[in-house]
Amino acid sequence: MRAAIVGSGKVSAEHAKAYGACGVEVVAICSRTKESARRKINELGISAVSYDNLELMLAKEQIDVVSICSPPELHAKQTILVAKHGVHIAIEKPVALSRTELNEMLDAVSQNGVKTIIGFVLRWSDLVLNIKQRYLKNIGELFYLETDYWHGSSHEKGHTIHEYGTRGGPIGAFIGGGCHAVDMARFLSNSNIIEVTAVTPRREEQGLQRTTAALVKFENGIVGKISATDEVFMPYVFNISLFGKEGAIQLNKFYSKRSLSKTYEIIPGTVPDSGAVWHHPFRGMIQEFIDCIRENRETSCSLRDAVNTHAACFAIEESARRGGEKICIR
């Protein structure tokens, strides 16, 4: 199987490494300039062709899969183009910046029969998989959850526009990174979000929301709170709290009536305590993508699945703009 990557930033390197680890050859990298694509190829130490034109790359190369790791405002156009060539697509988050873009992407993917996987990479964290597969069933019926994405600056890390915006300007914290927290809430609740109410501390210039908190309701009746900020000065934090009728999970701590322990048990796995891309389990994500292509089945984190995550993010920011108005998601 042969892969190509669109984009030459940090996350593109992790996709390339993951493909290599899964036995997939990266044959081309496309970036804004051939020079930046060539630098990434040299950095990775692979034999690949550099391009600055996606359509030309798709026409000239024999490619089975493409990873779209470009700036978010380019994702819709590039996804539609790749889908029309019948090539399977891994898309980094956020996949789109509007519901209209989402619908157009979904139409293109469906019409051309291509597989997709979305870069909500924490789904493949060993800690999260242990929670989902081994521990969640032992806290009884889930009734409340919280997830938080707090990714500001610190003594070790400063902000850059590439992490918190697009070429057209900054984007809100929920759409830019908080979508990870929304997706995690959906993943662990096994349900879609149907209703949101959100607030932000103040009205930002040009409508930019750098800190937002949301109350959410799920289709299966669970309720929860999700928050996102990119302006706090502290190391990265990704919170997970799950309350069931017989126990609770707080990130990597487990407490249950069904356990013999009278104190918290520690759930095995790597705590998601860094926003650095090298810290994330891209290999698991790409392995599922490749397996699903070979077995002709849909991935667990497809574009269709990701529609509700993004729709919830858009609704959360809209609710906050309206001063906390309840918004239903269809």
pLDDT tens-digit readout, 16-46: 999 999 999 999 999 999 999 999 999 999 9
In this prediction the pTM is 0.95
**pLDDT per position as a tens digit, 182-230:** 999 999 999 999 999 999 997 655 568 999 999 999 999 999 999 999 9
pLDDT score, position 164: 46
Structure tokens at 30: 């496309």
Long-range contacts of 295-298 (CB under 8 A, 24+ apart): 298/115
15 pLDDT higher than 70:
yes
| CATH 3.30.360.10 domain range(s) in the chain | 125-275+303-328
Structure tokens at 15: 């996709």
Give Cα separations from 264 to 86, 125, 249, 261 (angstroms). Answer: 50, 21, 9, 7
pLDDT score, position 208: 84
232 pLDDT higher than 90:
yes
pLDDT score, position 21: 98
| CATH 3.40.50.720 domain range(s) in the chain | 2-114
pLDDT score, position 155: 85
**pLDDT per position as a tens digit, 124-165:** 999 999 999 999 999 999 999 999 999 999 988 776 443 444
Query: According to CATH, what is the number of the domain 125-275+303-328?
Result: 3.30.360.10
CATH class assigned to 2-114 = alpha beta
pLDDT score, position 109: 98
Neighbouring CB atoms inside 10 A of 193's CB total: 26
In the structure, what pLDDT confidence band is assigned to residue 278 with cuts at 50, 70 and 90? confident
Q: What is the DSSP string of 243-279?
A: EETTEEEETTEEEETTSS-SSPEEPPS-------GGG
